[in-house]
């Protein structure tokens, strides 16, 4: 029921809080200011958890990852114009990744904004948001708040989830309304994400194709992780015996040490599979669009996806299954006959052989103890500490720090790895860490490149203020990719990719009464991480890495155009 005052009058502020509570929203991530300060204050007074950030982008990233983990839209609250735009990067990133999120922003006086008469923080926010969101709404009457919130929830969570913008003008927030009429105007969403049942024909077609395959492969993407159909997915993989590859955020959906994982034979299986079943994974740049030398041109595809327009977007899909993954996997399991799908022994043997070969090569790299540390030796220390703590969330961003981290850190539970995602964006680190810690109450280890950390580093104050169990490990190699580039002009300014190698990131957190560690070898890293996790308190480990250990653009050198003329110098 809406908050009723003695005078039986309510207002926009109360109605927004009422509508969120009525729909099971319990947390707001934001930055306060005109015109939403009182909204944040009231939400907290009314029992919602309000987490206040230092920058809207991080608040937005926290909301987005909260949405991914809970399947409820994460809420980000921002002020007008610049605050709104700061949050928009996170909202666009949520849309790109398929995370359900609603950015609620206050906006300035509509009449002045629309005539461009120069209001405080003037911007046509609803229209600015449209290209980057699944939907963008503006509420102009207090009696429409309930409908506005309900529409935003539906748009964010149904179908392929994504970012939604909800504009609340300052007039609406302050507008009063009779409490009974207000109560009538509230909308409780009955079904946030209706099931999308597959056509049985499409299931049969897909099973027939898989049964005809000699070298089948399953690729699990973060849509499969989001669907929370963990048991059904595992059961289908195990019953069919098909080898699988997890995309980075699907790691842990089945434990990384599962015998059917083909992760350590990735290039072999992509190049040689004859039928590939995509479950909640797009054939985007992360899979080379399904084309080129990494793929066979004769591969046939099964694609399980909730979005009908994803089908045929890059390669022709022989067996599309348009459905929510929970319903699709249930239908597959119901229709699958024992022994119907049997990958050929030669295929499984070839994969096993390549896995063993690659695992041995990687073990040699991991057992080396170079001085100074490189990415492998530092990550090995972290991997070993985390091995016995499978419920810890791992947040990971950077270039080399991300690429090595994805390969070296095994995940054992679903939805525990949160990373740069579809855009390869920097700046998600502290927001994702805070969002995950807040909604789960579980510890988080954020493995951050030194450049990546800088994008959201000020949020360590937020982490300390809320005393969240987050340990940030900064891989300090003195730069973007590497720390050894030189200024090609011969001048005194550092090169474009250079950061301060001597930076003591550990001292930053000490300013907020957190614990800092400075480590230069794996043994000290192991001790620092173990102690930090045992304390359950905020900590930051400045982890010194060889500045020459990384490669430019990490694994993405093929996407990095380079001048062929005079290497950036004038001829
Ligand atoms: P990855 O980056 O891990 O490869 P993507 O984000 O590219 O994964 O792909 C995820 C896909 O999963 C999207 O195409 C999205 O439409 C789909 N998806 C998301 N949630 C569901 C769901 N509940 N059921 C079915 N498909 C889903
Ligand atoms: N800005 C944004 C928002 N996203 C980006 N991806 C980039 C810039 C470009 N970029 C990368 O793609 S990785 C990266 C940048 C700046 C940082 C790499 O340096 P790092 O990691 O210190 O984080 P390593 O370990 O030194 O490679
Ligand atoms: Mg770096």
Pocket flag, ligand 2, residue 475 (CB < 6 Å): yes
Q: How far is the CA of 424 from the centre of ligand 2 (A)?
A: 8
Determine if the peptide bond prior to 447 is cis (ω within 30°). no
66, 205, 295 from 212: Cα distances, Å: 41, 11, 19
Ligand 2 center to residue 448 CA distance, Å? Answer: 10
Could you tell which of 474, 480, 547 is best to mutate to test the pocket of ligand 2, judged by most ligand atoms within 8 Å of the CB?
480
Mutate to test the pocket of ligand 1, among 280, 282, 323 (most ligand atoms within 8 A of CB): 280
Secondary element (H or E) of residue 476: strand 470-476
Assess whether the C-beta atom of 330 lies below 6 angstroms from ligand 1. no
- Residue 553's pLDDT is 86
Regarding the beta carbon of 93 and ligand 2, being less than 6 Å apart is answered: no
- Can you count the helices (H) and strands (E) in the chain? 22, 19
Pocket test for ligand 1, best of 98, 158, 193, 223 (most atoms within 8 A of CB): 223
DSSP 71: S
Residue 409 CA, ligand 3 centroid: distance in Å: 18
β-strands 163-169, 101-107: how paired? parallel
List residues bridging with 139 in a β-sheet.
168
Per-residue pLDDT tens, the chain, 571 aa: give them: 555 445 699 999 999 999 999 999 999 999 999 999 999 999 999 999 999 999 999 999 999 999 999 999 999 999 999 999 999 999 999 999 999 999 999 999 889 999 999 999 999 999 999 999 999 999 999 999 999 999 999 999 999 999 999 999 999 999 999 999 999 999 999 999 999 999 999 999 999 999 999 999 999 999 999 999 999 999 999 999 999 999 999 999 999 999 999 999 999 999 999 999 999 999 999 999 999 999 999 999 999 999 999 999 999 999 999 999 999 999 999 999 999 999 999 999 999 999 999 999 999 999 999 999 999 999 999 999 999 999 999 999 999 999 999 999 999 999 999 999 999 999 999 999 999 999 999 999 999 999 999 999 999 999 999 999 999 999 999 999 999 999 999 999 999 999 999 999 999 999 999 999 999 999 999 999 999 999 999 999 999 999 999 999 888 888 888 888 865 554 3
Nearest CA-CA partner of 176 in 12, 1, 7, 16: 12
Cβ(452) – ligand 2 distance below 6 Å: yes
Q: What pLDDT, on a 0 to 100 scale, did the predictor assign at position 5? A: 46
Query: Which of 286, 481, 484, 560 to mutate to test ligand 2, by most ligand atoms within 8 A of the CB atom?
Result: 481
Does residue 222 have its Cβ closer than 6 Å to ligand 1?
Answer: yes
Element (H, E) at 395: strand 393-397
Is residue 500 a contact partner of residue 478, using CB atoms and an 8 Å limit?
A: yes
Could you tell me which residues come within 8 angstroms of residue 111 by beta carbon, excluding any fewer than 6 positions away? none
Measured from the Cα of 452, ligand 2's closest atom is 23
Whether pTM > 0.95 for this model: the answer is yes
Whose atoms come closest to the Cα of 403: which ligand?
Answer: 2
Which ligand has the minimum distance to the alpha carbon of residue 378? 2
| Nearest atom, ligand 2, residue 475 CA | 25
pLDDT of residue 7: 61
Please give the distance, rounded to the nearest whole angstrom, from the Cα atom of residue 559 to the centre of ligand 2.
Answer: 14
* Cross-strand pairs, 479: 498
Q: Which of the 8 DSSP states describes residue 498?
A: B
Helix (H, G, I), strand (E, B) or coil at 254: coil
Token representation of residue 317 = 């899909």
Kindly give the pairing relationship between strand 9-11 and strand 176-178. Answer: antiparallel
Q: How far, in Å, is the centroid of ligand 2 from the Cα of 61?
A: 17
With a 6 A CB cut-off, is 332 part of the ligand 1 pocket? Answer: no
Closest atom of ligand 1 relative to the 222 alpha carbon? 3
Closest ligand to C-alpha of residue 61 is 2
Name the closest-CA residue to atom 19, ligand 1.
Answer: 223
CA of 344 to the centre of ligand 3 (A): 44
- Ligand 1 atom having least distance to the Cα of 97: 6
CA of 508 to the centre of ligand 1 (A): 37
For residue 450, which atom of ligand 2 is closest to its CA?
22
67 lines ligand 1 (CB under 6 A): no
User: CA–CA separation, 341 vs 212, rounded Å?
Assistant: 8
In the chain the first and final C-alpha atoms are separated, in Å, by 73
Ligand 1 site, residue 417, Cβ cutoff 6 A? no
Which of 289, 227, 254 shows the shortest CA–CA distance to 98?
Answer: 227
Instruction: Give residue 570's pLDDT.
Output: 42
Rounded CA gap, 543 and 501, in Å?
Answer: 11
Atom 23 of ligand 1, residue of closest alpha carbon: 227
Ligand 2 in reach of 474 Cβ (< 6 A): no
Q: Is the CB of 311 under 6 A from ligand 1?
A: no
């Amino acid at each position: 029921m809406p908050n009723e005052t003695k005078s039986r009058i309510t207002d926009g502020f109360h109605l927004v809080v009422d509508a969120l509570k009525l729909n099971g929203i319990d947390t707001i991530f934001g930055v306060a200011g005109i015109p939403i300060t009182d909204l944040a204050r009231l939400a907290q007074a009314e029992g919602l958890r309000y987490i206040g950030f230092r920058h809207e982008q991080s608040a937005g990233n926290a909301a987005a990852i909260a949405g991914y983990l809970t399947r409820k839209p994460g809420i980000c609250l921002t002020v007008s114009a610049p605050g709104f735009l700061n949050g928009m990067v996170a909202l666009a990133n949520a849309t790109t990744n398929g995370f359900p999120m609603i950015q609620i922003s206050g906006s300035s006086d509509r009449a002045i904004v629309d005539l461009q008469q120069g209001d405080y923080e003037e911007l046509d926010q609803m229209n600015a948001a449209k290209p980057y969101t699944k939907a963008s709404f503006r509420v102009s009457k207090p009696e429409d708040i309930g409908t506005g919130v309900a529409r935003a929830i539906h748009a964010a969570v149904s179908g392929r989830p994504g970012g939604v913008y909800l504009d609340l003008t300052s007039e609406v927030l302050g507008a009063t309304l009779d409490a009974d009429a207000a109560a009538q105007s509230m909308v409780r969403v009955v079904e946030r994400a209706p099931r999308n049942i597959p056509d049985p024909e499409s299931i049969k077609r897909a099973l027939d194709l898989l049964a005809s395959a000699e070298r089948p492969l399953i690729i699990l993407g973060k849509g499969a992780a989001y669907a929370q159909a963990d048991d059904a997915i595992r059961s289908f993989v195990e019953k069919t015996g098909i080898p699988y590859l997890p995309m980075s955020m699907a790691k842990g959906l089945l434990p990384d040490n599962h015998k059917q994982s083909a992760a350590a034979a990735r290039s072999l299986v992509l190049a040689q599979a004859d039928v590939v079943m995509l479950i909640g994974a797009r054939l985007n740049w992360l899979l080379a669009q399904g084309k080129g030398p990494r793929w066979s041109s004769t591969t046939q595809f099964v694609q399980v996806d909730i979005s009908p327009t994803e089908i045929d977007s890059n390669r022709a899909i022989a067996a599309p299954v348009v459905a929510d993954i929970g319903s699709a996997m249930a239908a597959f399991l119901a229709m699958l006959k024992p022994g119907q799908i049997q990958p050929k022994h030669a295929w499984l043997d070839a994969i096993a052989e390549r896995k063993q070969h690659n695992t041995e090569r990687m073990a040699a790299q991991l057992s080396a103890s170079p001085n100074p540390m490189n990415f492998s030796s530092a990550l090995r220390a972290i991997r070993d500490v985390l091995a016995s703590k499978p419920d810890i969330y791992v947040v990971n961003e950077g270039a080399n720090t991300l690429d090595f981290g994805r390969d070296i850190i095994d995940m054992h539970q679903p939805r525990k790895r949160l990373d740069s995602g579809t855009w390869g964006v920097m700046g998600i680190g502290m927001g994702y860490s805070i969002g995950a810690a807040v909604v789960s109450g579980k510890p988080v280890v954020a493995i951050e490149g030194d450049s990546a950390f800088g994008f959201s580093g000020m949020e360590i104050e937020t982490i300390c203020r809320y005393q969240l169990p987050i340990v940030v490990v900064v891989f300090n190699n003195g730069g973007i990719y590497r720390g050894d580039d030189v200024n090609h002009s011969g001048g005194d300014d550092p090169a474009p990719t250079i950061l301060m190698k001597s930076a003591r990131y550990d001292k930053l957190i000490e300013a907020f009464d957190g614990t800092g560690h400075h480590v230069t070898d794996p043994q000290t890293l192991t001790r620092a991480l173990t102690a930090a996790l045992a304390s359950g308190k905020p900590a930051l480990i400045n982890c010194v890495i060889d500045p020459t250990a990384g490669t430019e653009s990490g694994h993405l050198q093929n996407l990095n155009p380079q001048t062929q003329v005079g290497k950036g110098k004038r001829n």
